[in-house]
Amino acid sequence: VIKCKAAVAWEAGKPLSLEEVEVAPPKAHEVRIKIVATAVCHTDAYTLSGADPEGCFPVILGHEGAGIVESIGEGVTKVKPGDTVIPLYIPQCGECKFCKNPKTNLCQKIRITQGKGLMPDGTSRFTCKGKQIYHFMGTSTFSEYTVVADISVAKIDAAAPLDKVCLLGCGISTGYGAAINTAKVEPGSTCAVFGLGGVGLAVIMGCKTAGASRIIGIDLNKDKYTKAKEFGATECISPQDFKKPIQEVLVEMTDGGVDYSFECIGNVGVMRSALEACHKGWGVSVIVGVAAAGQEISTRPFQLVTGRTWKGTAFGGWKSVDSVPKLVTDYMSKKIKIDEFVTHTLPFDKINEAFELMHTGK
Tell me if 358 is assigned to some domain.
Answer: no
Low-confidence ranges of the chain (pLDDT < 70): none
Q: Are residues 261 and 295 both part of a single domain? A: yes
For residue 27, the domain's CATH number is 3.90.180.10
What does the alpha-carbon distance between residue 98 and residue 314 come to, in Å, rounded to a whole number?
13
- Domain containing 76: what range? 2-169+319-353
CA atoms lying within 13 Å on the CB side of residue 243: 0
My answer on whether 66 and 43 are in the same domain is yes
Angle at which helices 246-253 and 268-276 cross, to 10°: 20
Query: Which whole-number Å values give the CA distances from 360 to 38, 52, 340, 345, in the listed order?
Result: 19, 21, 19, 16
CB 60 within 8 A of CB 126: yes
Question: The CATH number of the domain where 187 resides is what?
Answer: 3.40.50.720
pLDDT of the residue at 10: 98
pLDDT of residue 292: 85
Task: Answer yes or no: are the C-beta atoms of 57 and 12 closer than 8 Å.
Answer: yes
- Contact (CB, 8 A) for 93 and 105: no
> Which residues face 65 on adjacent strands?
38
Give the pLDDT confidence score for residue 243 in this predicted structure: 97
β-strand partners of 311: 286
Looking at residue 54, its pLDDT comes to 81
The sheet that has 2-9: what strands, in order across it? 59-60, 2-9, 17-23, 126-128, 131-133
Q: Which residues pair with 56 in a beta bridge?
A: none
Q: What is the pLDDT of residues 169-180, one digit of tens each?
A: 999 999 999 999
- C-alpha dihedral sign at 358, 359, 361, 362: negative
- 158 and 188 both lie in a single domain: no
The count of domains in the chain is 2
Residues 91 and 21 in one domain: yes
The pLDDT tens digits for 46-69 are 999 988 888 899 999 999 999 999
Q: What are phi and psi of 170, to 5 degrees?
A: -155, -80
Closest CA to 138 of 49, 65, 45: 65
Q: What is the pTM for the complete model shown?
A: 0.96
